[in-house]
Amino acid sequence: MGVVKTPDELIHIITASAMNDSCFQHILGYVRPGLTELQVAEEIHRVLQRLGSKGLAFPTIAVAGKNGAEPHGVPSDYVLQEGDFLTMDFGAVVKGYCGDMTRTIAIGHATSSMKKIYQVVLAAQLAGLDACKKGTTYRDVDQASRNIIEAAGFGSYYVHGTGHGVGKEVHEEPYLNTKATHQFKLKTHMAITIEPGIYLPGKMGVRIEDLVIVTDFGVINTNHSPKELLIIK
């Protein structure tokens, strides 16, 4: 297995992403105030299994409120409250190949500051997607997303890279981050994530992630779940 995927490998990854989209659609009708993070994570696991996923690509992340400020937070007994962001990061597995998707939704209502942060992350994610094409350096893709967040004044709260490769492992080459040198460039049929985020310690976190396939002209997005701010009431 290499960083450039074969057509068969891409089909498995696309199928895993379709399961993720179906799972997210179900979760939108399941989530409500009063549930715990653990209950949300368990429901995601149950639905992915029902859809045919062979296990999980990684331990599901479902974190809300101040717990969302941890990019790799572990679901707890925290009870979802109105006014919380809920970040869900999860992945189906198809024939040994992983999916990887993140969406952040608001519970009950969202303040103006929550909406502002969400829109900054969304703009950064779209900029990262737009930057992806064959021949673009890993670092330049990261910078495209990072520039948006830094310009909005949240640069110090973007604490991880913009993306990574996905295949039989959910984290593999290429890694799109500030440590990448300009000699490393995207190639056609790489499967990568674009997942910028903002994390305010003790307050909230927002991350939006799609899994995409690099082409000569841009990317094919394997995720089709909505990315506009959804407020669950």
Rounded average pLDDT over 136-154: 97
Question: Domains in the chain, please, with CATH?
Answer: 7-232 (3.90.230.10)
pLDDT tens, 69-83? 999 999 999 999 999
Residue with the two structure tokens 């189906």: 92
pLDDT tens, 23-80? 999 999 999 999 999 999 999 999 999 999 999 999 999 999 999 999 999 999 999 9
DSSP 5: P
Report whether 121 contacts 149 (CB < 8 A).
Answer: yes
The candidate with the shortest Cα–Cα distance to 199, out of 123, 107, 120, is: 120
- Crossing angle of helices 7-30/37-51, nearest 10°? 130
Tokens representing residue 219 in the block: 């990317």
Which CA distances in Å does 229 have to 102, 117, 142, 206? 13, 11, 23, 11
